[in-house]
Amino acid sequence: MKMRLFFSVFILLISIAYPSTLFASEEYKYIHDQSNRLSYIRTASNQIIFFKYDTNGNVITKGLLKPMLGDVNGDKKADAIIFSNGEWRVSVSNGNGFNPYQKWVEGHGVGSQAQMVGDVNGDGKADAIVYFNGEWWVSLSNGKGFDAYKKWVEGHGVGSQTQMVGDVNGDGKADAIVYFNGEWWVSLSNGNGFNAYKKWVEGHGVGSQTQMVGDVNGDGKADAIVYFNGEWWVSLSNGNGFNAYKKWVEGHGVGSQTQMVGDVSGDGKADAIVYFNGEWWVSLSNGNGFNAYQRWVEGHGVGSQTQMIGDVNGDGKADAIVYFNGEWWVSLSNGNGFNAYTNWLKDDARLYNGH
Ligand SMILES: [Ca+2]
Ligand SMILES: [Ca+2]
Ligand SMILES: [Ca+2]
Ligand SMILES: [Ca+2]
């Protein structure tokens, strides 16, 4: 309620119905202030396209941004990262909030189709990864910035629907995974590049709405998870491939806007989380399935563009974070629910200043 009141007083926030030609997951948001207007469109790949207009309605800035979470400085607290047109800006977590943005690299991933963070060289600091038509480029974190980017593999995932990073073989280095129509292909990290890709499973997730990786059974190897209309199916990693898939829960998240995995209870097993209009529902993993879902918080993120899971205060329990018109709001996990949300970072000045 606090967020809604804030916006009703200072800014007129209007949502309009999206045209039928767009993906259902795209959402338009328009924001007006005294001197200009911004609009945000959330795309199916969780990127945000923003437009800034002058008072006559002419577009003066257009760009793409993607908010992400990852521990880029290796202190165990997930940091807030914004990718925008090849620039990566980082707001380091101090455990109670995100510090002001700093630019960590530029020119990394202009025109890329997907942007990700993960620790691909196993030094404890999450790295910046981009994907373009089968090419994967990496900027390693040095703890204070991202180094010059290098190509780690090519020809991996041309035509794929989803690109992900996660440590599927449990060696501490995140690997490059792609999904195409039920096939999952993996390029293992060797710490300096991604090896030749191999098919790890097929027939897992044909027609699914969301594909994810996360260690749901707590053996240190990230597993392959898909979501279809409330059903969650899991293929556990055996370190060399993904096993036959099994249904872990049904009826969890029908109609939800976002589906995520993360260890919100802190037992080492990633849980299944969904978001609907400010409500966050959790199905905890028991290692062989997901338990009955429970609501962990409501009213957190109504109108937000992006919803994420990550441990921002470093207590081992993943927290619920939203990106909302340039602001980051956090509901910390207490292990049984998400606490009341608080603001961790105010306006993204780049948008308002016409970056
Ligand atoms: Ca790293
Ligand atoms: Ca690995
Ligand atoms: Ca696992
Ligand atoms: Ca936490």
pLDDT (tens digit, 9 = 90+) per residue, 191-217? Answer: 999 999 999 999 999 999 999 999 999
Question: How far away, in angstroms, is 304 Cα from ligand 1 center?
Answer: 29
Q: Which of 6-20, 75-89, 98-112, 183-197 has the weakest average pLDDT?
A: 6-20
Length of the chain equals 355
Q: What is the DSSP letter of 92?
A: -
Question: How far away, in angstroms, is 119 Cα from ligand 2 center?
Answer: 9
pLDDT at 3: 42
Mean pLDDT of the chain: 88
Q: Which of 54-63, 89-98, 110-119, 222-231 has the weakest average pLDDT?
A: 54-63
pLDDT at 127 over 60: yes
pLDDT at 21: 30
Q: Which of 76-80, 81-85, 234-238 has the weakest average pLDDT?
A: 81-85
Question: How far away, in angstroms, is 288 Cα from ligand 3 center?
Answer: 10
Coil vs helix vs strand at 167: coil
Question: How far away, in angstroms, is 203 Cα from ligand 2 center?
Answer: 23
Question: How far away, in angstroms, is 187 Cα from ligand 2 center?
Answer: 9
pLDDT at 55: 76
Q: What's the pLDDT band for 354 if we cut at 50, 70, 90?
A: very low
Question: How far away, in angstroms, is 167 Cα from ligand 2 center?
Answer: 4
pLDDT at 10 over 50: no
- For the segment 134-178, what is each residue's pLDDT rounded down to a tens digit? 999 999 999 999 999 999 999 999 999 999 999 999 999 999 999
Q: Which residues are in the CB-under-5-Å shell of ion ligand 1?
A: 119, 121, 123, 125, 127
Q: Which ligand is nearest to the CA of 265?
A: 4
CA dist., res. 282 & res. 135, Å (int):
35
Region 178-183: what's the mean pLDDT?
Answer: 97
First and final C-alpha spacing in the chain: 30
Pairing of strands 279-283, 210-214: unpaired
Q: Which of 13-27, 53-67, 136-150, 173-187 has the weakest average pLDDT?
A: 13-27
Region 223-244: what's the mean pLDDT?
Answer: 98
Q: Which ligand is nearest to the CA of 222?
A: 3
pLDDT at 54: 78
Question: How far away, in angstroms, is 145 Cα from ligand 1 center?
Answer: 11
Question: How far away, in angstroms, is 91 Cα from ligand 3 center?
Answer: 30
- For the segment 264-277, what is each residue's pLDDT rounded down to a tens digit? 999 999 999 999 99
- For the segment 278-303, what is each residue's pLDDT rounded down to a tens digit? 999 999 999 999 999 999 999 999 98
pLDDT at 246 over 70: yes
pLDDT at 57: 79
Q: Which ligand is nearest to the CA of 266?
A: 4
Q: In what order do the strands lie in the sheet with 114-118?
A: 114-118, 127-132, 135-139, 150-153
- Angstrom CA distances, 186 to 156, 200, 207, stand at 8, 7, 20
Q: Is the CB of residue 36 less than 8 Å from the CB of residue 16?
A: no
Bigger pLDDT: 38 vs 127 = 127
Q: Which ligand is nearest to the CA of 309?
A: 4
CA dist., res. 66 & res. 60, Å (int):
20
pLDDT at 31: 57
